[in-house]
Structure 1
Amino acid sequence: MPNIKSSKKRVKVTTVKSAQNKTVRTDLRTEIKKANIALENSAEDKTNAVRVAIKKIDKAVAKGILHKNTAARKKSALDKKLAAGA
């Protein structure tokens, strides 16, 4: 544990921010998995599932959790699977 007051605060802030980022990241992964399952099973709501996943990806980019190129790659893969199944 650091001795300097500002360093102590940094440790606290980092742990809080890491927890927040982790929840966003796990929600994102869950939505992507749901979209992939919907696409594989040709579910009726597959377009909606993909739309929700893409929205989550965009929110993660806005919060700085994902890089924009990573987001573009993930969105492109979902769109490609959706177009192939349609």
Structure 2
Amino acid sequence: MANTRQAKKRIGRNANRAAINHARISRIRTFIKEVEAALTAGKKKEAAEALKKAQPELARGVSRGVIHKNTASRKLSRLSKRVASLG
């Protein structure tokens, strides 16, 4: 249990940051799911458009520090590859 005033403040702040970070990660996942849904439906044009929207969200997640740079790069690469192969 927190003993000092400062430690109590940190507990509250950490909870707020965790909620914000969770919302950001959830938003990124939603954009990725839109791409995957278009891919499974076999709609290349929609998948490409969804990928264009997901790309800046992944980049924003990296800049905010909620996901690692390599993770975003890997996800983007795999999605791009799947969209291209839909041909």
TM-score normalised by L of structure 2? 0.92
Tell me, in whole angstroms, the C-alpha distance in 1 between the residues paired with 2:85 and 2:46: 15
Name the % identity: 33
Q: Which amino acid letter does the alignment assign opposite residue 77 of structure 2? A: S
State the shift of 1:47 in Å: 1.0
Alignment gaps of 5+ in structure 1: none
Runs of 4+ with deviation above 6 angstroms: none
Alignment gaps of 5+ in structure 2: none
State the shift of 1:39 in Å: 1.6
Tell me, in whole angstroms, the C-alpha distance in 1 between the residues paired with 2:9 and 2:76: 37
How many pairs were matched up?
Answer: 86
TM-score normalised by L of structure 1? 0.93
The match for 1:53 is 54
Q: Which amino acid letter does the alignment assign opposite residue 79 of structure 2? A: L
